[in-house]
Chain A
Amino acid sequence: MKAFFLSLLLFTATAQASQALIEFQNPEQQALFKELTQELRCPKCQNQNIADSNAVVAVDMRNKTLELVQQGQDKEQVLEYMKSRYGDFVHYQPPLNKFTLILWLLPALMAFGLVLVLLLRRKAERTAVAMESGDKAQPPQQLEKQLDQLIEQYRRKS
């Protein structure tokens, strides 16, 4: 059984090796290409990056990214190239503008609200404790009586 699984592993290794190899002039370009293809989003098969997808448009974008990286363009230039064609949608990091402002503001607002609620609750608890300790000075005899009556009632029933 073990041998079978090991042979499966071997098989996947050869399957991967059959993909076309890309040669880079230097490791920086290789790293940039890898980073970009993981950050750029496939506009056709949404929620996949272009490294992941084999849709025609994703393959084209991958080839274009490679071409631009090999021309020596930096990350911002490549992103700008893609965004000017496929929109902000194509990058997984949305820019800060009037449409996306809420993405940044909402978590801060929620944290602020949470702190506010906690503070108000603590204050309310404190006043409640203060009131309770004030009541304890004089035990309500009437309540005690009522309780005794109730206990008596249930005893009779059972």
Chain B
Amino acid sequence: MRKLAFFIPFVLFIGLSVFLFSGLFSDPMERESSVLNKALPAFSLPDLQQPDNLWTADKLKGKPYLLNVWGTWCVTCNAELAYLTELREQGVMIVGLYYQQPSDAAFGEVFNLAALQQEVALKLEQQGDPYQWNILDKDRSLIFDLGVTGAPETFLIDAKGMIRYHHIGDINPQVWQQKLAAAYQSLEE
């Protein structure tokens, strides 16, 4: 009994060390999305380039696709455009959900659709265009319903409109191979 008690501090120390050490490699941003395995929330949002065309959750059903939340203001999003374009060429369907940042009235900023359309067209021409089309979420309503915290974020959505996977951060060859490829291929079949 005495000898056993002698080892208690040592065991506690080892336990604490393992706990803290594993903390060094954990990502505090990583947590399961609460919209996972639920249907895409209902919405009605305009197409970025053809604002008369309204997209709804129902219109997007029929084929698995990636819903990629991005914006031209977001540096990481710009960096992933090239690889996403490669994926599109391999036959992956990618829909853009454009994250519009709030205009700061104090600085005299006003939302200008024509200027945004031009900016997006130019950006996609330069970096590659992975998107079948872009949905403009000016007030971030669908973005809010999806629990998006920033850009880029990507949702994998199946043919029935159910959210199957959520990824925070950019998509690069490594992330695609390790996390998304298998999930996407299982939905394709």
Q: Could you tell me the distance in whole angstroms from the C-beta of B100 to the nearest C-beta in chain A?
A: 10
Q: Is A95 interfacial (CB-CB < 8 Å)? A: no
Q: Which of A61, A83, A87 contacts B32 (CB 8 A)?
A: A87
Q: Which of B35, B101, B102 contacts A85 (CB 8 A)?
A: B35
Q: Could you tell me the distance in whole angstroms from the C-beta of A25 to the nearest C-beta in chain B?
A: 24
By a beta-carbon cutoff of 8 Å, the part of chain A in contact with chain B is 43-44, 46, 55-57, 59-61, 64, 83-89
Q: Could you tell me the distance in whole angstroms from the C-beta of B69 to the nearest C-beta in chain A?
A: 12
Docked-complex contact B149 and A43, CB < 8 angstroms = yes
With A56-B140, A59-B102 known to touch, is A85 a contact of B32 (CB < 8 Å)? no
- In chain B, residues 130-189, which have Cβ atoms closer than 8 Å to a Cβ of chain A? 140, 144-150
By Cβ-Cβ distance, the 9 closest A-B pairs, closest first, are: A87-B34, A85-B147, A43-B149, A44-B149, A86-B147, A57-B149, A44-B150, A89-B31, A60-B140
Question: Which chain B residues border A46 with CB–CB below 8 Å?
Answer: 28-29
Q: Is B33 interfacial (CB-CB < 8 Å)? A: yes
CA distance A64 to B31 in the complex (A): 23
CA distance A57 to B101 in the complex (A): 10
Docked-complex contact A57 and B150, CB < 8 angstroms = yes
CA distance A84 to B140 in the complex (A): 16
Q: Could you tell me the distance in whole angstroms from the C-beta of B102 to the nearest C-beta in chain A?
A: 6
- The number of chain B residues with a CB under 8 A from chain A is 17
Docked-complex contact A85 and B149, CB < 8 angstroms = no
The winner among A64, A85, A87, A89 for most chain B CB atoms within 10 A is A85
Q: Could you tell me the distance in whole angstroms from the C-beta of B92 to the nearest C-beta in chain A?
A: 27
Docked-complex contact B31 and A85, CB < 8 angstroms = no
By a beta-carbon cutoff of 8 Å, the part of chain B in contact with chain A is 28-29, 31-35, 101-102, 140, 144-150
- Known A43-B147, A56-B101, A60-B140; 20 more pairs at CB < 8 Å: A43-B149, A44-B149, A44-B150, A46-B28, A46-B29, A55-B150, A56-B102, A56-B140, A57-B149, A59-B102, A61-B144, A85-B34, A85-B35, A85-B144, A85-B147, A86-B34, A86-B147, A86-B149, A87-B33, A87-B147
Residue pairs across A and B with Cβ atoms less than 8 A apart, 27 shown, are A43-B147, A43-B149, A44-B150, A46-B28, A55-B150, A56-B102, A56-B140, A56-B150, A57-B150, A59-B102, A60-B140, A60-B144, A61-B144, A64-B144, A83-B34, A84-B34, A85-B35, A85-B144, A85-B145, A85-B146, A86-B147, A86-B149, A87-B31, A87-B33, A87-B34, A87-B147, A88-B34
Question: Which chain B residues border A55 with CB–CB below 8 Å?
Answer: 150
Q: Could you tell me the distance in whole angstroms from the C-beta of B151 to the nearest C-beta in chain A?
A: 10
Measured CB to CB, the nearest residue on chain B to A84 is B34
Q: Could you tell me the distance in whole angstroms from the C-beta of B1 to the nearest C-beta in chain A?
A: 9
Question: Which chain B residues border A59 with CB–CB below 8 Å?
Answer: 102
Question: Which chain A residues border B33 with CB–CB below 8 Å?
Answer: 87
Question: Which chain A residues border B148 with CB–CB below 8 Å?
Answer: 57
Question: Which chain A residues border B146 with CB–CB below 8 Å?
Answer: 85
Question: Which chain A residues border B34 with CB–CB below 8 Å?
Answer: 83-88
